[in-house]
Structure 1
Amino acid sequence: MQRTGYGNPPPATSPPLHHPVPQHISAVPQLRSPPPPAPQIQHQAGYGNPYQSHPPPQGSFGAYGNFMSDPTAQMGFQVGQTALKHGTEYLEQNVNRYVNISAIKHYFNVSNSYVVNKLFLVLFPWRHKPWSRKQSTGPNGQEGWYLPPRDDLNSPDMYIPLMGFVTYILLSAMVAGLRGEFQPEIFGWTASAAFVMVAVELLLLKLGCYLLSISNDSQLLDLIAYSGYKFVGAIVTIVLSEILNGGKGTGGWIGWTIFTYTFMANALFLLRSLKYVLLPENPSDERGTMQTVARSQKMQRTYFLAGYSYVVQLVLMWYLTRV
């Protein structure tokens, strides 16, 4: 045996390395999704197909044109109009039994200049003359028709009393809010109290007129109008007292001074204006002379008018200004 190198045995021969031989694999088919179906064009009316022509709607109401042109619908519409007309006439006839609508319209026939001058007259009645109301000829030639308020400053109206009533309610709520005492119920309380006060006042006036045999066709409407002018003085008293009295209301000498003036102005205004309502004269007799009422009865009416203008108005205006 031969020895090589340092006497180590010869290396053993290693077996040959065998690498795996690649095998030919058939190509895997690629999976594809089926093509989407072709879009189907649907023929729709309206905005579906802008290129599609379709007939325009009939009539000005589109689909409702056929309904409006239907003879049955037209007949129903005419029946409804007739029923509405008859219902309105029936309502007017029944309302006119208790309320004369044309007479009430007379009291709302005002103008801007009349409202301004009337407010000035209520607050400053000291040098106003004359106080008699102007008369004209009626539509049928009758004498004794009074001119509307827009043509006669001495004529009573219901616009200022109504606006004064509403303004008083809103002013009371505003004053309560400034004092931190506002509640939503204050509108109902104030309106109810003021309405009841005016209703009681009218009942007392009607009772006095009945006992004193005072009759006048427009007496009730005149009394309603005159009873509402007190709200003007009450509103002025509340506003000026809040401004000049430092938000303390009508207390103190400033508040009482303003209240005294507005009360006296309202009392004089009523005394002069109601003279022609509570102290009327009898119509002329056959000889054409004017005969006034009996002396004793006229004195009683004068006392009644003075008591209403000063005593009753003092209590009512004092109550109104307690806000």
Structure 2
Amino acid sequence: MQQPNYTQSPPLHHPVPQHVSTVPQLRSPPPPTSSQPQQQGAYGNPYQQGTPTNGGGGGNVFGQYGNFMSDPMAAQFVGQVGQNAFKHVENNVNRWVNFSALKHYFNVTNGYVINKLFLVLFPWRHKPWSRKQAVGPNGQEGWYLPPRDDINSPDMYIPVMALVTYILLSTLLAGLRGQFQPELLGYTASTAGVVVVVEILLLKLGCYFLSISNESQLLDLVAYSGYKFVGIIVTVAVAELVNGGKGTGGLVGWLIFGYTYMANSLFLMRSLRYVLLPESTGGDGRGPMQTDSRTKRNQRTQFLFAYSYVVQLFFMWILSRG
């Protein structure tokens, strides 16, 4: 009897589509345990709060500094260190510059500045040239009034502002002529600075040989050395306008330069007589010094003439030729 064939072909099944998400799910790694140490870089996470691990540097640096600065004792310590450093710097600077004495030279008013500028440019008929004296805080004699109370008193406000104006004006005029370069500002400032430093060194050397050791008189000489920039500014500006943007060359430029040079020289010659040609001395050392002898007086007169005319001619020519 023939047995039936139970072998049948397998049934056909259609594949069922499975929807699998293509975006992986991001999950935070489990916290490290004692048996599973945390794997970090050599420096760890600098923004993680908590105790640093053996991997190195897991603490919050900004939080630590914030806690340090919020500590009253730490803030007091930092303030005390800053005050001590400031006092140390101030003491070292005071060895070379007396700031209390400099306040006297910046005690000016608007009226004084206008009148002093007019005096520097037109000194021909000004009288008198002697400075006004007053009684000191402890009753001393020979103290001079501040610039705001005496037109003949030297100041440092006008020289400093004139120096800055000269640097900016020279750069501006070069730009209007189409000759501006980035290094021109530094070159002009360097030239003016070298002239001022060399002139101060010459004055200090002259004071040394002429036995002028009073600090206030030396500061007066430094202040007077800066008034030349007023005449230079007028020379450069007026010559630029008259010559049609061609600089200070030409006949008109030289005429303006000659006038401002003579005005500045006469102003210095008359103003510096009380410093270099004193007649008597004050009781506290701040007044005029006594002339030692006729020879010393002649030497001071020659130095005053050379400084007012020869030195000023050379320096003003250098500064105004640009």
TM tier relative to shorter chain:
0.7 to 0.9
What are the Cα deviations for residues 51-101 of structure 1, in whole angstroms up to 9, with x where unaligned? xxxxxxxxxxxxx9xx89x99722222233333333333332222222111
* Contact kept in structure 2, 1:216 and 1:277, CA below 8 Å: no
Checking the alignment, whether the CA contact within 8 Å between 2:142 and 2:282 is kept in structure 1 is no
1:147 aligns with 2:145: yes
Equivalent residue letter for 2:130: S
Query: How high is the TM-score relative to the length of structure 1?
Result: 0.73
- Other-structure match for 1:205: 203
Gaps of 5+ in 1: 1-63
1:291 positional shift: 6.2
Q: Which structure has the bigger radius of gyration?
A: 1
Alignment match, 1:169: 167
User: 2: CA distance between counterparts of 1:72 and 1:203?
Assistant: 51
1:134 deviates by: 1.4
SS in structure 2 at match of 1:218? helix
SS of equivalent to 2:308? helix
Could you tell me how far apart the structure 1 residues matched to 2:211 and 2:185 are?
39
Q: 1:178 to 1:140 in 2, by over 3 A?
A: same
DSSP-derived class of the 2:299 partner: helix
Partner of 1:185, secondary structure, is helix
Counterpart residue number, 2:313: 314
CA contact (8 A) 1:135 1:144 kept: yes
Q: Which residue of 1 aligns with 2:232?
A: 234
Q: Which residue of 2 aligns with 1:295?
A: 294
Q: CA deviation at 1:160?
A: 0.7
Distance 1:262 1:270 in 2: 12
- Distance 1:184-1:206 versus aligned 2 partners, 3 A rule: same
Corresponding position of 1:159: 157
Compute the RMSD of aligned alpha carbons: 2.3
**CA apart distance, 1:138:** 1.8
Cα pair 1:134 1:146 within 8 Å, conserved: yes
Q: Is 1:196 the equivalent of 2:194?
A: yes
The alignment's TM-score, normalised by the length of structure 2, stands at 0.73
Contact 2:69 2:75 in 1 (8 A): no
Q: Which residue, out of 94, 97, 100, partners 1:99?
A: 97
Which stretch has the larger CA shift, 266-275 or 301-310? 301-310
Instruction: State which drifts further: 230-239 or 81-90.
Output: 81-90
Q: Partner amino acid for 1:257?
A: L
| Count of residues paired in the alignment | 253
Equivalent residue for 1:179? 177
Which structure 2 residue ranges, 5 or more long, are not aligned? 1-62, 284-288
Name which of 122, 125, 133 aligns with 2:123: 125
Matched residue type, 1:137:
V
Counterpart Cα distance in 2 of 1:320 and 1:284: 38
After superposition, the Cα gap between the structure-2 partners of 1:154 and 1:181, relative to the gap in structure 1 and judged at 3 Å, is same
Q: Give the CA deviation at 1:292.
A: 4.1
Amino acid in structure 2 at the alignment position of 1:317: M
Residues 1-323 of structure 1 aligned to structure 2 (within 5 Å): 73-283=71-281, 292-323=291-322
- Code of the residue aligned with 1:179 in structure 2: it is R
8 Å Cα contact 2:277/2:291 also seen in 1: no
Whether the 8 Å CA contact 2:121–2:263 is kept in 1: the answer is yes
